[in-house]
Structure 1
Amino acid sequence: MAEAFGLTKKTALVTGGASGIGAATCRELDRAGAEVVVADLNFEAAKSLADQLKQGTALHIDVTDEVSVKAAAASLSKLDILVNNAGIGNVGTVADVSYQDFDRLMKVNVYSIFLVTQAMLPLILQAHGSIVNIGSVAGMVGVKQRFAYCASKGAVLAMTRQLAVDYPKELRVNAVAPGTVQTPFVEGYLEKYHSHEKEKIREQLVSRQPIGRLGTPEDVASLVRYLCSEEAGFINGAVVAIDGGWTAA
C-alpha cells in the first residue's frame, strides 16, 4: 500500500526554505519522498539543511530579484511542487509605516510570488503540478499594528485564487493561512518590540488563538504536504486557515 500523502518521484522547491516554516516544510516533503530544493538567500543555511535530507539540494535565490529568480529556474530540469514561503513581517499602523518599509515588504511578500511563479510556471505546467502559497490569517482579518503585513498577505490570497481561475485544469494552486506560529520571526519580533515584556506579549499571542497555543512550523508543513499530494486532487483555489480557531471565533 502506498504511503498516505506520498510524494515519491516529485521534485519540490521551497523558497525561504532554510528556516522556520520553510525548513519544516522541506523536511516534511523529504519525508514524503520528494526531491527537495531548499531555495534561500542564505545559501550556507540552505546547504546545511539540504545535507540533512535524503534527497536535498541547496539553491541560492533572491526572490526579489528577477535575474536571480530566472537563473534559479534555469537550473532546474523538472518541478512538480512550488511552495512560495519566503516572507518578512512588519509592525505598525498606516501612520507609522515608512514608504521604504512598505516597499520592501511588498517586494518580499508579493512581488516574489509573481517573479517565482512566472519563472517556474513552464516546469509546473509540464508536470501538471501544484503550487502552495504561504499566506496568513492577516490576509483574512484585520490585525492590529499590521497595516503593511495585512496588505501583503491579502495580496497573496488574491493571487492564489486568481491563478487557480486562469489554470483550473493545468495545475492546482492553494494557500495556507497560518495564525501565529512559533518561529525565529516571532522571537525576533518579541526581542525587537517587547524585549522588556516578552512573556506578557507571548501570552497575548497565544490567547488570540482559541486552541490555547501557538502553532508550530510542523503543523503548517503537514498541511502543505497534504495539499501537494494526490489525495488533495480536488482542492484548488482554496485558502486553508491553520490558526487554532482564530478566524472561527
Structure 2
Amino acid sequence: MRFANTRILITAAASGIGAAAARRFASEGATVVMSDIDNDRLVACAEAMKSLPGRITTHAADVSDERQIQDLVAHAATTLGGLDVLVNNAGLGCHGRVTELSTDDWRRVLGISLDSVFYATRAAMPHLITSHGCIVNTASISGLAGDYGFAAYAAAKGGVVNLTRTLALDHARDGVRVNAVCPGLVATQLTRKFFDNARIARAYEDAIPMGRAAQPEEIASVIAFLASSDASYVTGVNLAADGGLMAATGQPNFTRLM
C-alpha cells in the first residue's frame, strides 16, 4: 500500500504502459483518474481493475487538445481533492523521413507526444506545487538518440526528454520532482506490427542485449518507482528501460562475428 492516499492522473491509460501503470498504482492503494481518447476501452479497462485496493475513475480526453486537457486536470483535481502525481504517458509514432512526412503527420505526432506533456504539466503544476507532488513522463530511447526513418517521433520524444530536465530545474525549489522513463521496445498493441514481421522481430532480438521486448508491467514498475518516496532525491532523470540497448555503441557485435 505504498500509494495509499496518493492522488494520480494518468493519460493514455486504456492500454499498454498506461493501463499497466494504473493497475500498479491501484494495486498499491492509489486513487487514480485514468484518461484516454477511447472512452469505451478506457471504461472496460477500469472495470477490469475494480477489485484492486485503490479507487479508479475515468475521464475521456484528447491529449492533443489544450482545452480538453485543461478540463481533464480540473476534473481530476476536483474529483480527487488535489493531485499528487501526473503521469504523462501519451505517445504516437509515424514512420517517415522529413521529405516523406506530411505537415499533418508531423503536427499529429508532436501534438500527441509533446504538446500533451506541456498542456497537462502547465495545468497540473499549481496542484502539484501545493501537494509537493511529482511528474513522470513516458519518453523513449528515441528521445535519447536518433532512429532511422522516425523524424517526427524522435523530435517529439527528444522534446519530452529535455522538457523533463528543464521542468525539474524550474520546479525543484517548489518541491515538485519531474522525471521520465525512456522505454525501448515494449510489447503493446501499438508495437504488434513489429512482432508480426519476422525480419523486424529478429532484428530487435539481435539488437537488445536481453534478447526480448519489455512487458508493459516492467515499465509500470519504473514509473511507480519514480513516483514513489523511494525516489525522493531523484529529479531531472530520463531513465532508460530498454533491456540494455542504449549501453551499446552501435558497432557490430564482434563477439558474435569473430
* TM bucket normalised to smaller: over 0.9
Q: Is the 8 A contact 1:38 1:49 kept in 2?
A: no
Aligned twin of 2:191: 186
| Alignment match of 1:89 (pick from 80, 84, 93) | 93
Asked if structure 2 preserves the Cα contact closer than 8 Å seen for 1:37 and 1:56, the reply is yes
Shift in Å at residue 52 of structure 1?
Answer: 2.7
Give the ranges of 4+ consecutive aligned residues of structure 1 lying more than 6 Å apart after TM superposition: none
SS at match of 2:86: strand
CA distance in 1, matches of 2:129, 2:42: 26
Structure 1, unaligned runs of 5 or more: none
Q: Secondary structure at the match of 2:149?
A: coil
Partner deviation per Cα, 1:63-93 (whole Å, 9 max, x = no partner): 1112211111221231111000011111112
1:236 has 2:232 as partner: no
- Counterpart among 136, 140, 150 of residue 136 in structure 1: 140
Task: Identify the residue that residue 113 of structure 2 maps to in structure 1.
Answer: 109
| One-letter amino acid of the structure 2 residue matched with residue 179 of structure 1 | G
User: What is the CA–CA distance in structure 1 between the aligned matches of 2:70 and 2:207, rounded to whole Å?
Assistant: 40
Q: Corresponding residue for 1:124?
A: 128
For the residue of structure 1 that corresponds to 2:172, the secondary structure is coil
Per the alignment, residue 205 of structure 1 pairs with 204
1:74 aligned partner = 74
CA separation in 1, counterparts of 2:44 and 2:124? 24
Aligned residue for 1:60, secondary structure, equals coil
Query: 1:145-190: per-residue Cα shift (whole Å, max 9, x none)?
Result: 1111111100000110000010013200000100011111111x44
Letter paired with 1:209: I
Please tell me whether the aligned partners of residues 190 and 201 of structure 1 are also in contact (alpha carbons under 8 angstroms): yes
Q: Secondary structure at the match of 1:176?
A: strand
Q: Is the 8 A contact 1:37 1:50 kept in 2?
A: no
What percentage of aligned pairs have identical amino acids? 36
Shift in Å at residue 94 of structure 1? 2.0
1:29 aligns with: 25
Instruction: Measure the CA separation in 1 of the matches of 2:205 and 2:4.
Output: 36
Q: Counterparts of 2:62 and 2:146 in 1: how far apart (Å)?
A: 29
Q: Distance in 1 between matches of 2:237 and 2:3?
A: 20
Distance 2:243 2:73 in 1: 36
For 2:224, give the aligned amino acid: R
Assess if the C-alpha contact under 8 Å between 1:51 and 1:57 holds in 2: no
From 141, 147, 152, give the equivalent of 1:148.
Answer: 152
Give 5+ residue unaligned stretches, structure 2: 249-258
The SS at the match of 2:35 is: strand
Report the AA paired with residue 49 of structure 1.
C
Deviation track 1:68-122 (CA, whole Å, cap 9, x = no partner) reads 1111122123111100001111111222212111111111111111111111112
Output the CA distance in 2 between the equivalents of 1:72 and 1:94: 33
* Matched residue, 1:42: 38
What are the superposed Cα offsets for residues 200-241 of structure 1, whole Å, 9 maximum, x if unpaired? 211112222111101111110000001111111010000100
